[in-house]
Amino acid sequence: MNQSARLSAQPGELIDRSTPVRFSWNGASLTGFAGDTIASALSANAVRVVSRSMKYHRPRGYLTADYWDPNGFVQVADDPNVRSGHRLLAEGMEIEAQNAWPSLEHDIKAANGLVGRFLTAGFYYKTFIRPQRLWPTYEKVLARFAPGGTVDLDTPLGYHDKRYAHPDVVVAGGGPSGMAAAIAAAEAGANVMLVEHGHALGGHLLWGDDTDRSLASELSTAVFAAGVEVLTDSTVTGRYEDNWCAIVQRSHPRSVERLIKARAKVLVVAPGLIERPYVFAGNDKPGVMLSGAVRRLINLYAVRPGRQAVVFSANADGDAAAEDLARAGVEVARVIDGRRGENIVAAHGSAKTLKSVELADGTSVDADLLVVAAGWTAPTSLLNMAGDRPVYDETAARFFPGSSIDTVLVAGGLAGDGSVDQLVEHARATGQLAADRSRVVRHRLQARTARAVAVSETEPTWPTDNRPLLDREPHPALFRSSTHGIVDYSEDVGSRDLVAAAGEGYDSVELIKRFTTATMGPAQGKLETVNTVAVLAEAREETIAEVGTTVWRPPYAPITLGALGGRIFEPVRVSSIQPWHEAHGATPIVAGAWIRPEHYGDPHNEVRNTRANVGITDVTPLGKLDLRGPDVAKLLSQLYTNKWMKLDVGSVRYGIMCAEDGVVLDDGVTGRLAENHYLMTTTSSGAATVWEWAESWLQTEHPDWQVHITPVTTGFTSINVAGPNSRDLVRRVVEDVDLDPDAFPYMGVRTGTVAGVADAIMWRIGFTGELSFELHVPAGHGLHVWETLLREGSDLGIAPFGLEAQRIMRLEKGHFIVGQDTDGLTQAASTGMDALIKLDKTDFAGKPEVTWALERDDLPSIVAIQTIDPNEVPDEACQIVRAGTNEILGRITSSRMSPTLERSICLGQVAAEVAEPGTRLTVVLIDGRRVEAIVMPHHAHFDPEGERLRG
């Protein structure tokens, strides 16, 4: 069986006979040649049955032997559903048939065919709809019968990526018309991208005669000489708004599959025509092929597709196929001419091979190969995606574009018929028009883009379409013979199924598609849509034009999830001290895009050390906005609920910011560094939001205010030095600032030099409740300052502390966190910060709502909570309920075991009726137990008077 069907060298063959390629097929070792597709290599080895059909498991052979072949899906190692008519053969390939068990030769599931009359369209829906409780069982059983290959979950992911492109013209289709259009557009000065589905440019010319191949070579050479970017083994798989084209590039040296997002100024659609199968009894037997398949197998791959052939021809390609067969030594027993009214009615033979063909005149001809050339389908998908609805032409017996779209032009068979020279001439005119129109589009883009090369104010006139019209050659309307056969090979849908469905009331093309699944298979209608419409038209006694088509949506060709995903861009933010954290064993935590140190081994120890000695923590992610201008105080007064007009230089104030609905938006401290210079801090996660919020007030409500805002969050490395020894430590590294409590009181800000680094900003504030300083130093020296502090503080008991220790200490101190202890509904009036809400201000964001909220007595409140059992640490978000019921009265928002107090501590939001200090609460733990807790008198569990903080 080794390449027994391989012919001697053919003039246009693509195979390299000097390079044999070994592969296996269902475990059997075979050989082919470099340049073979899997389909041509199997065919050369006289393999006739390559798959089993989806539902009835009928043996199937190659029908088109190209990318769209519905019978050619195979498993290649761990790669399922490989299109064997397109995938090139490679050394060592392990190829297996799919959808057959235990083997392709003897498939038990073929028993489905015995009960086929009961498995008509809608069978699954009708049979397995009830009882509903058995759906999980049905699912498990039916999954075993699902077609397709096997997915290996351990398959390496491979490298996929994406690319953006902005060509002037994208030409979809690399046949003679596509190439001619691309050349003309490039010669007219356009930047052109030519996308070809196959492995080489040339289209149908490649399997034509000497003249055809010569033209293919000439055009291909001219394409490259014109500087066109050529993508082969690639498909324009979608056309979206404004000619945003999705191109799947299947062969790339670096990427398994690449998605190119190309914004074309003009799209030229030149995909050629796709040969249409003919519907008749036995039309899916191995040995029934379309004329293009036969011509490709013979001329490109030197494969003899059979020994004795019958050719059913309704056009010149069928005639050419008969000539190629004769030249290849295949006996052409009979040519049936569809143009003269001759017809075929059935293919007979065993399940696995054709043996004879029954003609309409009642005669029968022995054959193992039936070649069908019944007509063409126009793949108008990209035009449909551009909004066009195709129109059926009865003369040509196919669909054509229904309208003209300014920036989507059509060339080749999709536009009409003619000699190759006529089609090339039309295509060249299309390319020129595309280039001319792209120039106008480019002019518009440049005119409205500030950075672009300037263009004249007058837009060029939009070029009119003066291309010669192409003819529409008559073609017999051959869709279904007098017998019934398969319409959708992928879905195992026959013409009988369609007629029955129409009879059941599914008589619109959209309904019949979904009920029968015709056109929903891997070919997505390219081979079966027109036949489906024709059969439905016949059943409804209407014309094809009256029935119409369904709408083609992207993707035109499949695209892997890997290409859609591309490189996974997940921005990561780190501070300048990150290398130190990593080197010293910090356990990282992801906080938004930031990677921060959660702890360095024992967060409770970090808390104890900070409270007893001194600790430093990296707070660089703290949002920081540089505010400059004479009207900064006005802006602060507008944004915050409290007053800012009299903040002294060198002073810091805390504020709460509300949205216009009175809900807490953010909080932070702002310091006045100089007369017209302030530094605002925000929460880490709120920095961008607050910046936009502030800018929106300036740009929309107060454009007259002179304020400049610049985000400087990461321009400073921010280090919090906290603990009783913090002042002593800071003294050792700061030369030019008086750090005495009177000179530098709590809530003060100074600028100076820290560890030799000038332009540092120092705050006397603290989130932890300890005496503390926040040092903000230019980030390019942040690590130096951090290391200096550690060195200088070694005798003071210094140790770093991470985010977890900071959270414990702030909870001990009762400092709430916006977004943790507040949510999207928490009003400022619920925070217990009434003293910071100054209703006597003329205005501030959210004032009306806040005023109204303060008048209510039923708003929930943030309160400090302690469980009666000090060892019980409720999980955050545990519900608080009315005793003895499930009525929710609140929830725990923050909760930790406090190493300082050696007991659990919490913050929570509770209903007003239970917010009074001393109120007993019932907390429902996540394991269902209920524990008692009590509302504390202050938010702070530790040092409520703030003596340590103000030390």
Footprint of other proteins (CB under 8 A): 161-166, 191, 253-254, 261, 263, 442, 445-446, 449-453, 567, 569-576, 579, 593-594, 620-621, 626, 628-630, 706, 708, 710-716, 733, 735, 755-759, 778-784, 788, 791
Instruction: Give whichever of 160 and 750 is closer to other proteins, judged by the CB atom.
Output: 160
Token pair 């030197």 is found at 302
Are the beta carbons of 191 and 262 closer than 8 angstroms? no
3-state secondary structure of 377: strand
Q: Identify the residue whose tokens are 């609460």.
A: 921
Q: Which is nearer to other proteins, 380 or 713 (CB)?
A: 713
User: CB of residue 621 vs other proteins: minimum separation in angstroms?
Assistant: 8
The residue among 201 and 577 lying less far from other proteins, judged by its C-beta, is: 577
Nearer to other proteins, 617 or 714 (CB): 714
Rounded to a whole number of angstroms, the minimum distance from the CB of residue 935 to other proteins is: 40
Task: Find the shortest distance in angstroms from Cβ 446 to other proteins.
Answer: 6
What lies within 8 Å, CB to CB, of 757 at 6+ separation is: 777, 778, 781, 784, 785
Contact (CB, 8 A) for 700 and 708: no
Q: Which is nearer to other proteins, 161 or 358 (CB)?
A: 161
Q: Which is nearer to other proteins, 7 or 709 (CB)?
A: 709
| Shortest distance (Å) from residue 640 CB to other proteins | 22
CB of 378 to other proteins, least distance (A): 33
- Closer to other proteins at the Cβ: 738 or 787? 787
- Minimum distance from residue 251 beta carbon to other proteins (Å): 14
Tokens standing for residue 476: 């017999």
**Among residues 170 and 415, whose Cβ is nearest to other proteins?**
170
Residue 376 phi, psi dihedral angles, 5° rounding: -130, 150
CB of residue 77 to other proteins, shortest distance in Å: 26
Q: Which is nearer to other proteins, 165 or 934 (CB)?
A: 165
Q: Which two tokens stand for residue 910?
A: 């509770």
Q: How far is the CB of 629 from other proteins (least distance, A)?
A: 6
> Could you tell me the smallest distance in angstroms from the CB atom of residue 231 to other proteins?
14
CA distances from 69 to 87, 175, 290, 747 (A): 12, 19, 10, 76
Cis peptide before 102 (omega within 30 of 0): yes
CA nearest neighbour of 283 among 100, 535, 61: 61
Q: In a 3-state reduction of DSSP, which class is residue 530? A: helix
CB of 867 closer than 8 Å to CB of 931: yes
Residues 6+ apart with CB under 8 A from 544: 392, 394, 530, 533, 534, 537
Separation CA 938–CA 812 (nearest Å):
11
Nearer to other proteins, 213 or 573 (CB): 573
Q: Which amino acid does the sequence have at 172?
A: A
CB of 578 to other proteins, least distance (A): 8
3-class secondary-structure state, position 152: coil
Choose between 135 and 244: whose C-beta lies nearer to other proteins. 244
Reference 39, options 3, 6, 66; nearest CA is 66
Q: How far is the CB of 189 from other proteins (least distance, A)?
A: 11
Q: DSSP characters for 38-82? A: HHHHHHHTT----EE-TTT--EE--SS-STT-TT-EEEETTEEEE
Q: Is 237 exposed, middle or buried (0-12, 13-18, 19+ CB in 10 A)?
A: buried
Contacts of residues 690-699 at CB distance under 8 Å and 24 or more positions apart, as own/partner, are 690/623, 690/625, 690/639, 690/657, 690/665, 690/666, 691/623, 691/625, 693/639, 693/657, 693/665, 693/845, 694/625, 694/635, 694/639, 697/635, 697/638, 697/639, 697/845, 698/635
Q: Which residue, 665 or 733, has its beta carbon nearer to other proteins?
A: 733
Cβ 599 to other proteins shortest distance, Å = 21
